[in-house]
């Protein structure tokens, strides 16, 4: 089986989408790009994450054609492929339907620097323009919204994150959903205080060396 280890990792993190509360049902999708193989592995369309096995994960070439696997790939292939084509700093993409991020996205609102943790994604998290799911237009809108960032909200839809590893992309998704929750709740009782740009640049720099892996990708400014 091609890219077996990567496909198993995708299964593990797909199940964590549910257990971490980042999506419901079969919502969302995950992919990992392997430059050496000039291919990426992505979750299949509409299969329960707890029934999905490694062989159900689909491998595609950079033209978007299936090269290994019998399942139909996620409808959001273009949403993932556009980052691998154009962002050398992104090797994994996580798309969620997390509640508070989707609340902001439904209001077409960005997530401002209401917490230093937003710096995991950048100075803020922009909301991209709406387009129907599964379209190239949605991919292009989302790609523009995530320029210089590692996360973007998708209007009336959800959240997307990207990073140099699936571990980091998933962590960013969790951190940004937490920040969105706090921001929405804080907005319900007052006016959240937004951190200034200089502080967010400082935090972004510190997050470049955060954790146990010194070669993690940094936050773009």
* pLDDT band at residue 208 using 50, 70 and 90 as cut-offs: confident
Average pLDDT over residues 97-109: 98
In terms of Cβ atoms closer than 10 Å to its own Cβ (0-12, 13-18, 19+), residue 16 is middle
Q: What is the pLDDT of residue 173?
A: 98
- For domain 4-207, give its CATH number from 3.40.50.2020, 3.30.9.10, 3.40.225.10, 3.20.20.70: 3.40.225.10
Q: How confident is the model at residue 214 (pLDDT cuts 50, 70, 90)?
A: very low
From the list 4, 53, 76, 137, the catalytic residue is 76
Reported confidence tier of residue 213, pLDDT bands at 50, 70, 90: low
Average the pLDDT over 105-113 and give the result.
98
The answer for residues whose C-beta is within 8 angstroms of residue 36's C-beta and 6 or more apart is none
Helix (H, G, I), strand (E, B) or coil at 52: coil
* Among the listed residues 126, 110, 123, the one whose alpha carbon sits nearest the alpha carbon of residue 195: 123
What's the Cα-to-Cα distance from 67 to each of 30, 71, 73, 186, 208, rounded to whole Å? 18, 11, 11, 47, 35
Across the chain, what does the average pLDDT equal? 94
Which of 200, 187, 44 is CA-nearest to residue 121? 200
pLDDT over 50 (residue 220): no
**Residues paired with residue 95 on neighbouring β-strands, in sequence order:** 29, 160
With H, G, I as helix, E, B as strand and everything else as coil, classify residue 220: coil
pLDDT at 215 over 60: no
R_g of the chain computed on alpha carbons: 17
Spell out the domain ranges in the chain. Answer: 4-207
Residue 201 annotated as catalytic: no
pLDDT tens, residue by residue, 127-169: 999 999 999 999 999 999 999 999 999 999 999 999 999 999 9
CB 100 within 8 A of CB 26: no
DSSP, res 193: P
């Amino acid at each position: 089986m091609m890219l077996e280890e990567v496909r198993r990792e995708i299964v593990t993190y797909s199940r964590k989408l549910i257990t971490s509360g980042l999506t419901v049902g079969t919502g969302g999708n995950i992919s990992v790009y392997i430059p050496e193989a000039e291919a990426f592995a992505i979750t299949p369309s509409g299969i329960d994450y707890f029934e999905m096995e490694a062989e159900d994960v689909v491998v595609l070439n950079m033209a978007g054609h299936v090269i290994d696997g019998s399942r139909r790939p996620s409808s959001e292939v273009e949403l993932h492929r556009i980052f691998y084509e154009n962002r050398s700093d992104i090797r994994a993409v996580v798309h969620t339907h997390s509640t508070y991020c989707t609340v902001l996205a439904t209001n077409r609102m960005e997530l401002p620097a209401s917490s230093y943790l937003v710096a995991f994604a950048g100075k803020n998290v922009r909301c991209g323009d709406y387009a129907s799911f599964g379209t190239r237009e949605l991919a292009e809108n989302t790609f523009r919204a995530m320029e210089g960032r590692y996360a973007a909200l998708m209007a009336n839809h959800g959240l997307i994150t990207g990073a140099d590893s699936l571990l980091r992309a998933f962590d960013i998704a969790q951190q940004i959903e937490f920040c969105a929750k706090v921001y929405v709740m804080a907005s319900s009782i007052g006016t959240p205080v937004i951190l200034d740009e200089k502080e967010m640049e400082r935090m972004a720099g510190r997050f470049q060396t955060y954790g146990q892996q010194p070669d993690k990708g940094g936050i773009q400014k």
